[in-house]
Amino acid sequence: MEPPSSKNFKRSIELSKLLNQANHSYYVLDSPFMEDSVYDRLYRELIDLEKQYPSLLRADSPTQRLGGKPAKRFINIKHKVPLLSLDNAFNFEELLNWETRVKKLLNQNSDQKKAINLASLVCELKIDGSALALSYSKGLLVRAATRGDGINGEDITSNVKTITSIPLCLQLDNPPEWLEVRGEAFLPNQTFKKINLIREEQGNDLFANPRNACAGTLRQLDPQIVASRKLDFFAYSMHLLDSSNPDQSKNFSLSNQWDALDWLQSAGFKINPNTRNLNSLKEVKDFLTKWEQKRIDLPYATDGVVIKINDFNLQRILGATQKAPRWAIALKFPAEEAPTKLIKLTYQVGRTGTVTPVAEFEPIELAGTQVKRATLHNADRLDYLDLHAEDTIVVRKAGEIIPEVITVVKALRPKKSERLFLPTHCPQCNEKLIRGTKKAATKCTNKLCPAILQGALRHWVSKSAMDIDGMGAKLIEQLVKKRIVQSIKNIYELNEEILEKLERMGAMSARKLILSIEESKSQPWHRQLYALGILHIGQGNAKTIAKGFPSAMKLKSAALNSPELITDIYGVGSEIAESLKEWFNNEENQLFLNELKELGISLETIETEPLSKNNKKGFLETQVGNNFVLTGTLSSITRDEARDMIETAGGKVNSSVSSNTTFLIVGDKAGSKLNKAKDLGIKILDEEEFKNLLNHKNEKT
C-alpha cells in the first residue's frame, strides 16, 4: 500500500490533537469550543485519512475511543449496557450505503436463501441535547447517569429528579425487576432564551446554544439551579436485566422498537410525537425533507433524523461495533456550519466604492447547496478573524442566503503562514483607499473606477429600478471597458449602430435594447428614486417616500430644510433623512438630476386620469387583513408584477409568513412558507385565485 505523504502525516497529527482537545473541553472542562457539525466534519476527515493510510492510526487517535473522559466532580459509574453513540450519514447516498451493508450482514447471518427485506424502519427526530441512562429498580428511579465515554458515566440522579417529564415511579402495576431507559434531556428554545437574558443581565458568559446550556445545567452541583431551568426529556429506548445473566440485558415480550416506544409511553415517559414507523428509505427521505424545513417551528433543537431497524431480532443479529450499533444510523440535516481550507482572499468593489474582502475556499456542502465563497464584510471583521494564508476556516449558512466565515481553526494553521490584510489601493483602479474614522467600511473614492461605475449601472438598469431589459452585466462590462459608457447619461446616448458593433449583439438585439432604454424614461417616480442609488433607500421605503414627496424637488426641499417631514413618515428614520440630506447637498448629484430631466426622465409622479367606478385600485385598503406573502414561481406574471398589483390595490406584501398574514400566493416549487401557512391556517391562493381576488371575481374569498 502506498505510504502516506508527509503532508498527510502532519494533518493526521494535527487533527488528532485538535479533536482530543475538543473532547477534553466538552466532557471534562464543560467548556466546548467547537460546534458539533464542525467536529463531525473534522472527525470524518481523520477517519478517511486513517482508512486510506492505516499506518497513520495512532493509539491516541480520537477514532479509537468512544468519547472523552467524564467530569470528576460527580461519582463515576459503569453502565450495565454500554451507551453507544450512533454512526452518522451526511447525505442520502450514505444512507443507501448503510442499507446495503446491513442487508449484506443479515444475509450472511441468515439461514434463509432469499434476501432479507428490512421492511419496517422507525424514524425519530435527533434531539440536540444530552443523552441520559435512567435506572429503575422495581419501578422506582434509583440512578441517572450521563453518557460519559459510553462505558463510564457520571451519576447525576439528584439533578435528573428535577426534570418533571421523567417519572420517579413507573406507571405500571407490575414493573420489571430492573429497567434502564435511554433518552435525551433537552432545553426548550424559549427557556434557553430566558436563561441567556438573565445571564446577560448578570454579566455572565452566554450559552452558545440549547445543547450546551443543557449539558451545563445537568452538571450543576445545586439541584435547585437545575430545577429552575426546567429541562425536558424524550425517551427512545430501554433495556431489561436478564436474571440468568446479570451482566446482560434483554427485551422481554416486545418484538420491535415501535412497540417499545408505545410501552415506554404507557409506563409514563414522554415520547417525541413526531416519531414515525416507515417502510422504505424513500419514505425516510421524505420525512427528512419535511423536518429539515419544519424544524424551525419546533420548540426544541434538532439536527437530524435517527433511523432504526424496527425488528429486535434483526437488531440482535446485526449487533454493534465498538462504537455504535449497526442497526441504527443518524442522518444529519444539511450542515449549517462546516470547516474548509482557505484558498485565497479576493476583494470586491461595490457601486458605492466599498471594498469587501471575500474568502475563496475548497467547496463544501452547506444547507443543501455547494458553497465556495463567503464575504468577510470589512477590515474590522478581517482583523477580528486574524485570517492567515491557508487557514482552516469555519463557514456558516444558518438560515441565510449569503454564507459567512465565523471563525478560524488556529490549531490547524500552517507554520510561518502570512497574515492577510485589506489592500491599501483599489484592486480595480489602483486609487488609494480611504477608511473613515467612525465607519468600518474601506472605500475607493474614484468616481471613474470601473467597478463603481459598473455597479451603479447594474443598479440603474435592474428590474426593480429602471428595468432596462437586455442590458446585463456582460454588456455593461463591455460598454465600460470600451469607454462607450462612463455615466448613466451615456446609456441614453446609445444608438443601434454603436450597439451592433459589440460582441453578441445583433441588429435585432440592438433595436430591442434601444426601445427598452426609451421606455425606461416613463418608469414611475418611486422606481426612479430607488434607481438613484441613495444610501439606505431600498425598494420598499422608496415607494413610501415617493408617496409623501411626489417629486425630486419636493424631496430635496424637505431633506435640506425640513427633515422632520421625512421622519414623520411611518417606517422612515433619521438615518434615511440624513442620507437624503447628504445626497441632495452634493453638487455632482444636482448636476446628475438636471441631466436626467434633460433626458426626459420626469423625477416626479405623473398624474393619470381619474379612477373609473370599475377600477378596483385601493379596494384592499378597506379589507380586514390585507397582508400578502408570495412563494414559488408564478407562470403568467413575475413576483415583482404581483407585488405591484397587490400594492396598487392597497395591500401589503411581506417577506415571511406569520399569524398576521392574510393570504399566501403560491406558484410552482413553493418553499417552506407553504408548510408554515398550512400549519397556521392561512388562506392559500394559487395564481388564478389571486387574479380573481384582485378582479373581485372570487366573492367568497
pLDDT 10s digits, 359-383:
999 998 876 678 899 988 888 888 8
Report yes or no: 661 and 668 within 8 Å, Cβ to Cβ: no
Neighbours of 134 (CB within 10 A): 24
Pairing outcome for strands 232-242 and 178-186:
antiparallel
In CATH, the number for domain 339-435 is 2.40.50.140
pLDDT at 30: 60
**C-alpha closest to that of 520 among 485, 469, 480:** 469
Mean pLDDT of 332-353: 89
CA–CA dist 34, 407 (Å, integer): 10
pLDDT at 115: 46
Q: Is the predicted pLDDT of residue 7 greater than 80, yes or no?
A: yes
- Please provide the average confidence, as pLDDT, over all residues in the chain: 85
In one letter, which amino acid is 288? L
pLDDT 10s digits, 575-623:
889 999 999 999 999 999 999 999 999 999 886 444 333 444 456 655 5
pLDDT band with cut points at 50, 70 and 90 for residue 113: very low
CA distances from 326 to 51, 184, 319, 472 (A): 19, 20, 6, 54
CA–CA dist 278, 285 (Å, integer): 10
pLDDT at 621: 58
pLDDT at 699: 43
**C-alpha closest to that of 285 among 115, 144, 92:** 92
Pairing outcome for strands 434-435 and 404-408:
unpaired
Q: So where are the chain's domains?
A: 6-64, 88-332, 339-435, 450-522, 525-599, 619-694
CA–CA dist 381, 402 (Å, integer): 16
Q: Is the predicted pLDDT of residue 170 greater than 60, yes or no?
A: yes
Grid-cell match 483599489, residue found:
426
Report yes or no: 106 and 119 within 8 Å, Cβ to Cβ: no
Q: Is the predicted pLDDT of residue 698 greater than 50, yes or no?
A: no
Mean pLDDT of 171-195: 90
pLDDT at 610: 41
Q: What are phi and psi of 401, to 5 degrees?
A: -80, -40
Mean pLDDT of 491-509: 92
**Residues with a known catalytic role:** 126
**C-alpha closest to that of 235 among 137, 132, 306:** 132
Q: Is the predicted pLDDT of residue 164 greater than 60, yes or no?
A: yes
Mean pLDDT of 217-246: 80
Q: Give 340's Cβ-side CA count (13 Å radius).
A: 26
The fold of the 619-694 domain, in CATH, is Rossmann fold (3.40.50)
The fold of the 6-64 domain, in CATH, is Helix Hairpins (1.10.287)
Q: Is the predicted pLDDT of residue 249 greater than 60, yes or no?
A: no
Pick the CATH number of 88-332 from 3.30.70.141, 3.30.70.100, 3.20.20.70, 3.30.470.30: 3.30.470.30
Least confident of 433-437, 614-618, 643-647, 649-653: 614-618
pLDDT at 437: 63
pLDDT 10s digits, 423-481:
999 999 999 999 876 566 889 989 889 999 999 999 999 998 999 999 999 999 999 99
In one letter, which amino acid is 501? K
Q: In sequence order, which residues have a C-beta less than 8 Å from that of residue 567 and are 6 or more positions away?
A: 573, 574, 576, 577
CA–CA dist 559, 576 (Å, integer): 10
Mean pLDDT of 328-345: 89
Q: In sequence order, which residues have a C-beta less than 8 Å from that of residue 150 and are 6 or more positions away?
A: 66, 67, 79, 82, 83, 84, 85, 323
Pick the CATH number of 450-522 from 1.10.260.30, 1.25.50.20, 1.10.150.20, 3.40.190.10: 1.10.150.20
pLDDT band with cut points at 50, 70 and 90 for residue 243: very low
Max mean pLDDT range (192-201, 410-419, 434-443): 410-419
All three cell numbers of 524, joined, read 414611475
pLDDT at 700: 39
Least confident of 119-133, 283-297, 369-383, 607-621: 607-621
pLDDT at 629: 87
Strand partners, 238: 181
In CATH, the number for domain 525-599 is 1.10.150.20
Q: Is the predicted pLDDT of residue 701 greater than 80, yes or no?
A: no
Least confident of 3-17, 72-86, 196-210, 493-507: 196-210
Q: What is the DSSP letter of 208?
A: S
CA–CA dist 591, 582 (Å, integer): 15
Is 450-522 in the same CATH topology as 88-332?
no
pLDDT at 594: 94
pLDDT at 461: 95
Over pLDDT 70: what percentage of the chain? 88
Over pLDDT 90: what percentage of the chain? 43
Give, for 270, the enclosing helix (H) or strand (E). none
In one letter, which amino acid is 608? T
All three cell numbers of 315, joined, read 437488531
Helix (H, G, I), strand (E, B) or coil at 271: coil
